[in-house]
Amino acid sequence: MTDGTPVGRRVVLGMLGLGALGVAAGGPLSRSVSGAVRALARDDPTGLSGLLPGGWRYYSVTAHQPHRSTADYRLTVTGLVERPGALRFADLSRLPRTELTSDFQCVTGWRVPGVRWGGVRLAEVLDSAGVRREARAVTFRSFDGTYTESLTLDQARRADVLVADTMDGRPLSRDHGGPVRLVVAPMYGYKSCKWLGGIEVVDAVRPGYWEHYGYDVDAWVGRSNGRDDAPTGDGEPPA
Number of neighbours of residue 7 by Cβ within 10 angstroms:
17
Question: What is the C-alpha to C-alpha distance for residues 235 and 230, in angstroms, rounded to an integer?
Answer: 5
Stretch that binds ligand MTE, among 5-13, 50-58, 120-128, 220-228 (CB under 6 A): 50-58
Q: Which of 10, 121, 141, 176 binds ligand MTE (CB under 6 A)?
A: 176
Q: What are phi and psi of 113, to 5 degrees?
A: -75, 150
Q: Which of 40, 59, 153, 224 binds ligand MTE (CB under 6 A)?
A: 59
DSSP state string for 50-75: EEEGGGEEEE-SSSS-----TTT-EE
Q: Which of 106, 122, 167, 187 binds Mo ion (CB under 5 A)?
A: 106
- Which residues, 133 to 152, sit near ligand MTE by CB under 6 A? 142, 144, 147
Of 34, 30, 65, which Cα lies nearest the Cα of 50? 30
**Residue 173: CB minimum distance to ligand MTE, A:** 9
The rounded Cα 108 to chain-centroid distance in angstroms is 14
Q: Which residues pair with 202 in a beta bridge?
A: 137
| Interaction of residue 198 with ligand MTE, rule CB under 6 A | no
- Give the contact letters, 6-45, x = binds to ligand MTE (CB under 6 A), - = no: ----------------------------------------
| Interaction of residue 57 with ligand MTE, rule CB under 6 A | yes
Q: Which residues pair with 131 in a beta bridge?
A: 81
By the criterion CB under 6 A, which residues form the site for ligand MTE?
46-47, 56-61, 106, 142, 144, 147, 176-177, 189-190, 192-195
